[in-house]
Structure formats: structure tokens, C-alpha cells
């Protein structure tokens, strides 16, 4: 008989966010019986649409929902209807009840929001996380850290996150478990492009928000440094929030200040089909981020057969083929890598883009089937 898992988070998130995607993927896998020996007991969350008022949102997050979660855990334990509680990301760690009657597992995607730091590169210092949170967020962080310390076990989505977890929460058992994707979903043979009119140039994709750690200004500076003949034949397609953020100007202002004319901002609300079409029609993905919890864009792009130019920093560098990343702050290396994508584009200009079979095969290491097998083994090690 299968054992049962209660999945817990706070306000519901959509599939188009990193944490939301990981949560929904876990719900789908448990619901469909793909985690051998385990099934879904329930999903406990609440719709954010009902908490638009700031004070109401705080009440829901800090008081009302934690009480409901604790009562639900007690109820399921008394009915012998659940074996383990899994809080699906560290931003909901405050939901771990005191003296839980069931073992509590928390997935830790990253810790830079809980423990911000400054990353020093060659010519810049990058803030990773908010070093000066407001009074409400400071209280929230205290609750999250206390919740993590109440957990029975922490699941870390990368070796880098595991190292940070062991440093900040040494008394809580922790294990590494990379997240999974449905790699077949991204295979070029399983997708059809929608009607997008891309320029007759070397089209390059960039996915990510305008956060300091995403380093959009660095990327703009590198592209602006390309020889004019190459720069004029490259077109950037950005998917993500482009607004001003954390002291940074809007990406459109960065683009303008670097005199980049070949740049299209597609926004953050594109459909799966739209983004998939960009993957299949672009000549490569540029990913200069200096810090990621897991790094969905590189692994999803590789699963689609894209070439990926990726910064050699955690945790996304753990996903890449060996020796394929480049130094995060070596502008010359980035220039060479982008030029190489352009040269490949010139070579195939008369033909269609050929997906990289090497990248597709590499991405299969992170397929949901691998993730499910490891997750089932982990659950069973906690509940004997």
C-alpha cells in the first residue's frame, strides 16, 4: 500500500515562476503515481487573489494559514491518512508546526534571500538578496529560519545549496536532490512553432528578471562591445520582467544607453508555446546570472536542443556539461562565445537550426523519471 504525502505551501503560485513550477511539478508527479510507493494525500495552500489587502496578507501568512496547516497535519495523523509533510520551498518554512506529529521535510531552493551576500567580481560588486529588508520582511525572515530549524530534514536542489544549508542550519539533516523536468516536453520533435516573425538575424534568447544577480547591464555592455558588423546581425529576445528594480534602471533604459537597436522585450507573461517557439527559433540562450537556486532556463533550453552560454557560478553551473560554462566576469570570453554563436548562424544561414543532440541527451539526466526515483528513495528513508 502506498504511503501518503501532504504537500504544503502558502499563497499559491503559477507555473510560470521558478518556485511555482517546482511545486506544481511535484503535485503532478505524486498525483499521477510516478513516485513509486508514494501518493498525494492533499495539497494545502490558499489563493493569493483573496489577500490583496497588505494587512490581510500578513494575517493569512503569519497566523491564519499556519494554524490551518497545523490542524490539518494533526487531523491526518490521527486518521493515519498521511505519512510525511513536505513544504515545497523555504519561503514557506514558517508553516512547519511545533511538535509536528508527522515528519516535516522542506525543499530548500536557495538561501540568498534569507542570508544575502555581496558577490565580488572583477569590476563590480553584485548584491545577491536584499541586504536591507524592511521591518515586516525582517520578522518574516526570523519566522522562516525558525521553521527551517523545526524541520526533520531539508532537501536541497543543488550541491551549492546543500553546502549553504549545512553552514546555516547545521543541526538539521539535509540531502541534495536536483529538481526534475519533463525533458520530452521540450524536445523539438514534440513541439510545433507558432507564428512568430523573428528578424533574419542571429536571434539569441535571454530569460530572467531585472534583478542585480541576473546581470542584464553586463550583458548589454558585452553586446555593445561586439564588432559593429556582428552586432548589427544579432537580435536579442528578452523574456522576463524588464521594469526598474533594486536600484537598477529598466532594461529598456540599459538597452538605450548602450545603443542597442536589435532588442525585443517580450515581457514575462508569455505562453508556454510562445517561449517554446523562441527556444526553437533562436540560435542560443545567454544566461549571465551569478546566482540561481536551480536554474530552469539553462536546463529547459538544453532539453530543447539549444546552445547555452552560461556563467560558471552556482547553482546553474552544476547543470551544464563539464567545462561548458565561462567565467562570469570575463567580458572577452563572453564576446568570444557570442561571436561563436554568430559564426554558427552564418554557417547554417541557408538551412534550419539543427538542435544539439548532445544538449538534449545531457538534459535527460534531470528528467522527472530520475527525480521521482530519487525522491521515492528519500521519502522511504524518512518513513520506515
Helix axes 368-382 and 18-31, enclosed angle (nearest 10): 80
State residue 31's pLDDT score.
97
State residue 50's pLDDT score.
57
323: left (phi over 0), alpha (psi -120 to 50) or beta: left
* Radius of gyration over every alpha carbon of the chain, rounded to an integer in angstroms: 22
User: What DSSP state is assigned to residue 217?
Assistant: H
Q: Band of the pLDDT at 4, cuts 50, 70, 90?
A: very high
Q: Band of the pLDDT at 369, cuts 50, 70, 90?
A: very high
Percent of the residues in the chain that have a pLDDT greater than 90, as a whole number? 84
Q: Band of the pLDDT at 323, cuts 50, 70, 90?
A: confident
Put the strands of the sheet holding 284-287 in their side by side order.
263-267, 234-239, 202-207, 284-287, 308-310
pLDDT in tens, 134-151: 999 999 999 999 999 999
Which pairing describes strands 263-267 and 284-287: parallel, antiparallel, or unpaired?
A: unpaired
354: cell is 539543427
CATH number of 3-180+367-382: 3.40.50.2000
Fold of 183-365: Rossmann fold (3.40.50)
49: Cβ contacts below 8 Å, ≥ 6 apart? none
CA distance 209 to 217: 12
CA distance 148 to 165: 10
pLDDT in tens, 249-295: 999 999 999 999 999 999 998 999 999 999 999 999 999 999 998 88
Average pLDDT of span 301-324: 94
State residue 1's pLDDT score.
78
pLDDT in tens, 164-219: 999 999 999 999 999 999 999 999 999 999 999 999 999 999 999 999 999 999 99
State residue 85's pLDDT score.
98
29 SS3 class? helix
Whether cis (ω within 30° of 0) applies to the bond prior to 315 is yes
Q: Which of 103, 71, 90 minimizes the C-alpha distance to 3? A: 103
State residue 339's pLDDT score.
97
pLDDT in tens, 71-94: 999 999 999 999 999 999 999 999
Q: Where are the domains of the chain?
A: 3-180+367-382, 183-365
pLDDT in tens, 16-38: 777 888 999 999 999 999 999 99
Beta bridge partners of 11: 46
CA distance 113 to 145: 11
Percent of the residues in the chain that have a pLDDT greater than 70, as a whole number? 98
User: What DSSP state is assigned to residue 190?
Assistant: G
CA distance 132 to 137: 9
State residue 164's pLDDT score.
96
Give 160-169's long-range contacts (Cβ < 8 A, gap of 24+). 160/314, 160/315, 160/318, 161/108, 161/109, 161/110, 161/111, 161/293, 161/315, 164/111, 164/115, 165/108, 165/111, 168/111, 168/114, 168/115
| Residue with more model confidence, 147 or 53 | 147
State residue 308's pLDDT score.
97
State residue 16's pLDDT score.
75
205: cell is 534568447
152 SS3 class? coil
250: cell is 529598466
Q: ∠144-149-155 over CA atoms, to 5°?
A: 85
Q: Would 3-180+367-382 and 183-365 be classified into the same CATH topology?
A: yes
pLDDT in tens, 102-146: 999 999 999 999 999 988 888 788 989 998 999 999 999 999 999
| Residue with more model confidence, 324 or 92 | 92
Amino acid at each position: 500500500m502506498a504511503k501518503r504525502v501532504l504537500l504544503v505551501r502558502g499563497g499559491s503560485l503559477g507555473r510560470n515562476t521558478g518556485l511555482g513550477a517546482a511545486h506544481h511539478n511535484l503535485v503532478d508527479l505524486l498525483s499521477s503515481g510516478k513516485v513509486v510507493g508514494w501518493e498525494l494525500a492533499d495539497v494545502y495552500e490558499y489563493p493569493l487573489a483573496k489577500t490583496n489587502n497588505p494587512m490581510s496578507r500578513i494575517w493569512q501568512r503569519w497566523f491564519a494559514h499556519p494554524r490551518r496547516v497545523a490542524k490539518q497535519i494533526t487531523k491526518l495523523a490521527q486518521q493515519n491518512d498521511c505519512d510525511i509533510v513536505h513544504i515545497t520551498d523555504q519561503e514557506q518554512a514558517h508553516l512547519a508546526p511545533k511538535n509536528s506529529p508527522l515528519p516535516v521535510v522542506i525543499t530548500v531552493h536557495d538561501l540568498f534571500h534569507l542570508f544575502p551576500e555581496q558577490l565580488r567580481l572583477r569590476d563590480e560588486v553584485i548584491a545577491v538578496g536584499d541586504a536591507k529588508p524592511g521591518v515586516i520582511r525582517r520578522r518574516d525572515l526570523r519566522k522562516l529560519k525558525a521553521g527551517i530549524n523545526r524541520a526533520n530534514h531539508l532537501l536541497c536542489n543543488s550541491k551549492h545549496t546543500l553546502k549553504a544549508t549545512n553552514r546555516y542550519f547545521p543541526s538539521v539533516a539535509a540531502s541534495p536532490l536536483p529538481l526534475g523536468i519533463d525533458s520530452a516536453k521540450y524536445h523539438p520533435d514534440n513541439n510545433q512553432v507558432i507564428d512568430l516573425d523573428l528578424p533574419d538575424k542571429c536571434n539569441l534568447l535571454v530569460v530572467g528578471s531585472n534583478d542585480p544577480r541576473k546581470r542584464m547591464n553586463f550583458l548589454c555592455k558585452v553586446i555593445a562591445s561586439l564588432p559593429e558588423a556582428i552586432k548589427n546581425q544579432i537580435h536579442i529576445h528578452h523574456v522576463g520582467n524588464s521594469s526598474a528594480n533594486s536600484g537598477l534602471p529598466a532594461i529598456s533604459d540599459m538597452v538605450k544607453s548602450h545603443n542597442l537597436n536589435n532588442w525585443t522585450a517580450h515581457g514575462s507573461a508569455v505562453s508556454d508555446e510562445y517561449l517554446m517557439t523562441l527556444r526553437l527559433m533562436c540560435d542560443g540562450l545567454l544566461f549571465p546570472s551569478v546566482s540561481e537556486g536551480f536554474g530552469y532556463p539553462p536546463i529547459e533550453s538544453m532539453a530543447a536542443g539549444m546552445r547555452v552560454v552560461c556563467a560558471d557560478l552556482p547553482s546553474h553551473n552544476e547543470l551544464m556539461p563539464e567545462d561548458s560554462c565561462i567565467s562570469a566576469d570575463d567580458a572577452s570570453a563572453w564576446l568570444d562565445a557570442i561571436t561563436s554563436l554568430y559564426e554558427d548562424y552564418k554557417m547554417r544561414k541557408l538551412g534550419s537550426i539543427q538542435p544539439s543532440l548532445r544538449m538534449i541527451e545531457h538534459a535527460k539526466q534531470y528528467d522527472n523519471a530520475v527525480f521521482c526515483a530519487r525522491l521515492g528513495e528519500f521519502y522511504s528513508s524518512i518513513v520506515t
